[in-house]
Amino acid sequence: MLARVLVILILIGIGVGLVVWIVRYQPFGPFGPIGSPLPSTHVAAAGWSEGPEAPFARLEMATAVLDGRIWLAGGLTPDGAATDALAVFDPTTGEWTDGPPLPAPIHHSALASDGERLFLIGGYRENGPTDEVHVLDPASGAWEPGPLLPEPRGAGAASHDGSRVVYAGGVGPAGVRDDIFVLAGGRWSRVGALTRAREHLAAATDGAGRIWFLGGRQGGLDRNVGDVDLVEGDHARPLASLSPRGGVAAFYAPGIGACLTGGEAPSFAFTIVECVDAKDRVTALPEMGQRRHGHGAAVVDGIVHALLGGSVPGLSASSTTEALVLGE
């Protein structure tokens, strides 16, 4: 009888341990285990195709589109060093060129474009997060100081909603933050907060007054969240959650919504692409061909480009790119 009780207790212990492992290291999204298909209102027929390799490997750089080209600012090299490089990718020709170097090496910053200029916001320097903002007008070819953030931030996200630059989340002097800051009239102001404080999140905009802030984490890789907050004007509201993951990149697809790509968990990086629109409709797009985190994502002429990043959690850097044609 005692032996039978011991066997039962051992089996219960194994079961509890398995549940804890699944919850902690194999988090579930809103529709089942991460990586499982989501209910879809639209799925592109074709998958991702390989694109031109970059002449370097990098991760945790800031990414934005300007003049039909994709700009990647700063980031980490494969040996973990921050860089001041500004790389420019032309999807039409497949060519990579160098832009004006950044004022200093930096990583985990945010980059936003208003259609004429680039705004490099926050990020990590050697001594921690910075409140510095730098602005580049490609016609002038030089970075100029911009309005300082209200306080230092690293690993936040930003985009331009058509009239304003909006920045949210990140890590400040007091830890992970939920603030939403808006740059208008030459100064930053706080207009609200995310549903939960988080960093390593991503932003995407429709350019018509809406910005989605997607994913991220609240600390370590085992504290990923799937939150999505939509910012319109001075108001933020939560939308349907996606699979929890940080170290992500995002893009906006007309008719589909804001789409979250890649990311990392404690033991693996992701290939999944999940989208949500302003009406809470969730969409699954084809999975990327390569696992990526700390990467960039951008749309040029109806084609999504996923660039660089790492294929395994932590410090791993790739030089690869891939592309997905939307609307097929």
Per-residue pLDDT, 328: 57
- Inter-CA distances, 90 with 67, 83, 87, 110, 259, Å: 9, 21, 10, 20, 22
Q: Where do we find the tokens 């699954």?
A: 284
- Does 29 have pLDDT greater than 50? no
Average pLDDT over residues 300-310: 97
Average pLDDT over residues 265-290: 97
Partnered with residue 106 across adjacent β-strands are 83
Per-residue pLDDT, 327: 81
- Does 38 have pLDDT greater than 60? no
Per-residue pLDDT, 167: 98
Per-residue pLDDT, 10: 42
- Inter-CA distances, 79 with 31, 106, 124, 223, 311, Å: 38, 14, 16, 26, 15
Residue 4: phi and psi, rounded to 5, are -65, -40
- Inter-CA distances, 199 with 128, 150, 173, 175, 268, Å: 14, 17, 13, 10, 19
Say what the alpha-carbon torsion angle 6, 10, 16, 17 is, to the nearest 10 degrees. Answer: 150
Rg of the chain over all Cα atoms, to the nearest angstrom: 20
Partnered with residue 112 across adjacent β-strands are 119
pTM of the model: 0.88
Per-residue pLDDT, 63: 98
- Inter-CA distances, 209 with 165, 235, 296, Å: 10, 11, 22
* DSSP per position, 200-216: S-EEEE-SSSEEEEE--
Percent of the chain with pLDDT over 90: 84
How confident is the model over 187-232, as pLDDT tens digits? 999 999 999 999 999 999 999 999 999 999 999 999 999 999 999 9
How confident is the model over 172-182, as pLDDT tens digits? 999 999 999 99
pLDDT band of residue 39 (cuts 50, 70, 90) is: very low
pLDDT band of residue 18 (cuts 50, 70, 90) is: very low
Q: What is the mean pLDDT of the chain?
A: 89
Q: How far is the C-alpha of 94 from the C-alpha of 85, rounded, in Å? A: 19
Say what the alpha-carbon torsion angle 208, 213, 215, 221 is, to the nearest 10 degrees. Answer: 140
How confident is the model over 158-170, as pLDDT tens digits? 999 999 999 999 9
Lowest mean pLDDT among 42-46, 223-227, 232-236: 42-46
- Does 25 have pLDDT greater than 50? no
Residue 305, H or E segment: strand 303-307
Of the candidates 112, 67, 70, 44, the residue with the CA atom closest to the CA atom of residue 253: 44
pLDDT band of residue 59 (cuts 50, 70, 90) is: very high
Per-residue pLDDT, 14: 43
Give the CA angle between residues 57, 90, 308 to the nearest 5°.
25
How confident is the model over 290-301, as pLDDT tens digits? 999 999 999 999
Tell me the helices (H) and strands (E) count for the chain, helix number first: 1, 30
pLDDT band of residue 52 (cuts 50, 70, 90) is: very high
Q: How far is the C-alpha of 276 from the C-alpha of 284, rounded, in Å? A: 9
Residue 11: phi and psi, rounded to 5, are -65, -40
Asked whether the beta carbons of 182 and 191 are under 8 A apart, the reply is: yes
Domains of the chain with bracketed CATH:
56-257 (2.120.10.80)
- Does 12 have pLDDT greater than 50? no
Average pLDDT over residues 54-81: 98
Average pLDDT over residues 105-121: 98
Q: How far is the C-alpha of 272 from the C-alpha of 189, rounded, in Å? A: 34
Q: How far is the C-alpha of 240 from the C-alpha of 257, rounded, in Å? A: 12
Asked whether the beta carbons of 289 and 261 are under 8 A apart, the reply is: no
